[in-house]
Structure 1
Amino acid sequence: MKRLRSVEDVMTHAVISVDRGTAFKDIVEVLRMWNVSALPVLAQDGQVVGVVSEADLLLKPQSTDTAHAATAEQLMTRPAVTVTKDATIPTAARLMARRHLKRLPVVDGEGRLVGVVSRGDLLKVFLRPDEDIGAEIRELIMYKLIPHGSAEVHVHVSNGIAYLNGSLPDLAMEDVVVRAAGTVPGVVDVKSDFTAPVSA
């Protein structure tokens, strides 16, 4: 069962980047060739020091004849907005939404570029098979939340919607179970219908 938990699970590993000294015209050519709207700018050690985008190029200084001789370091936006490879998918999604970004450079613990994640990559979790989602919900509920043998929980997932029913040792746990199921990547919604505890 493929689990999609972190940014590393969905990111694109092959990344196009430029270094600080890349010239204006070369940046334009790379953007055009790879059909992307922005590029990470790297230091010699692979650390992301900025991002140069189409908007950065369009906003280049107009008052000088040397504008087209500008380099990535002069044009880039800094500091770069990045996400670590072990960040959760919701964390990356919130960061993109808050900063109005389509793509994020992904870095390791040292700030070195290891990939890039896009909005489309983050949506991959919603393409998980319902069977995989259901199996992960069952494992989470039956082995991590509820004492073994103390509940009978049935899980059915259809089009990303998780339907939970059965009996719980304490109905007060229903909210916890529902919220936990909702954290499983690929879950669109959770609907529950639990009964009161079964008498001994």
Structure 2
Amino acid sequence: MSPTLVRDYMTTDVVILRPGDAFKEIVRALADRGVSGAPVVEETGRVMGVVTEADLLHKEAFTPVAEEPRRYFASRSSTRVAQTKAAGDTATDLMSAPAITVDAEAPIARAARLMAVHGFKRLPVVGDDGALVGIISRADVVGVFLAPDDELRRQVVADVVERCLWENPERIRVQVRNGVVTLSGRLASKSLIPLTVALTRSIDGVVDVVDELSYDRDDMTSDRPEAWRCS
């Protein structure tokens, strides 16, 4: 089954910062477009880093009047980085680097994992040559789950039931409601049930799978279980 790719959901109209952009230019660019961060990009298109609102806030946090935030930062190992950014005046000074990027041809699940692991709200998307081609946000990733129920049903029947299992669709009933897929009917062997559920769950946009499947033969106790592969 072909996964949904990052390029299918990324935004190509990206706010781009240049290494020499000044502090106020960065603030104005983010405010004008209503975004909370943007990649810093070289003339070649290579992503150097990312500047976010959090990076900009360091300048306020380390002013003389900001005693409480300053004590907070002083208690952390990242004090020097924060202080350096507070003194910075250009995108190069302020950005977080190196940038964590995701390939345009990567499955959207990889983008979701990177955001979850690093706590990012967005990721720069790069092409084969490493140049910026777009950006993908948490909202874009969540958008995968907006796939219509009838489209999800079509994918389950075509990709799982017919192509992977080689089963007659009349034997397997597929119902989808609000992204939740209910599978019922009879499979030839018991070992096919967890496989069918796993394949269905792997389809982008499926929220959950309800297993109501039965089987004709119990092959789970066999010393040589059947091998199945779906490419």
What is the Cα-based RMSD across aligned positions, in Å? 2.3
Q: Is 2:175 the counterpart of 1:176? A: no
Q: CA deviation at 1:53?
A: 1.4
Aligned residue number for residue 15 of structure 1: 14
Aligned residue number for residue 66 of structure 2: none
| Structure-2 change in CA distance of 1:30 and 1:4 (3 Å) | farther
Aligned residue number for residue 225 of structure 2: none
Q: Deviations over 1:135-179 (max 9, x none)?
A: 001111233221354982111101111011111111211000000
Q: What secondary structure is seen at the aligned counterpart in 2 of 1:80?
A: coil
Question: Partners of 2:40 and 2:51 in 1: how far apart?
Answer: 7
Paired positions, count: 194
Q: Deviations over 1:31-61 (max 9, x none)?
A: 1111111110001111111111122222248
Q: What secondary structure is seen at the aligned counterpart in 1 of 2:191?
A: helix
Q: What secondary structure is seen at the aligned counterpart in 1 of 2:188?
A: coil
Indicate conservation of the 8 Å contact 2:152/2:206, yes or no.
yes
Alignment of 1:76-155 (within 5 A): 76-149=95-168, 152-155=171-174
Q: Is 2:184 the counterpart of 1:185? A: no
Q: What secondary structure is seen at the aligned counterpart in 2 of 1:196?
A: strand
Question: Partners of 1:121 and 1:136 in 2: how far apart?
Answer: 21
Q: CA deviation at 1:20?
A: 0.8
Q: What secondary structure is seen at the aligned counterpart in 2 of 1:194?
A: strand
| Greater C-alpha Rg | 2
Aligned residue number for residue 196 of structure 1: 215
Question: Partners of 1:135 and 1:184 in 2: how far apart?
Answer: 11
Q: Deviations over 1:94-117 (max 9, x none)?
A: 110111111111111222111111
Q: Is 2:25 the counterpart of 1:6? A: no
Q: What secondary structure is seen at the aligned counterpart in 1 of 2:216?
A: coil
Indicate conservation of the 8 Å contact 1:10/1:117, yes or no.
yes
Aligned residue number for residue 29 of structure 2: 30
Alignment of 1:26-65 (within 5 A): 26-60=25-59
Q: Give unmatched runs, 5+ long, in structure 2.
A: 64-82, 218-231
Of 160, 164, 169 in structure 1, the residue corresponding to residue 183 of structure 2 is: 164
The one-letter code sitting in structure 2 at the alignment partner of 1:38 is: G
When normalised by structure 1's length, the TM-score is 0.89
* Percentage of matched positions with identical amino acids: 39
Aligned residue number for residue 71 of structure 1: 90
When normalised by structure 2's length, the TM-score is 0.77
Q: CA deviation at 1:13?
A: 1.2
Q: Give unmatched runs, 5+ long, in structure 1.
A: none
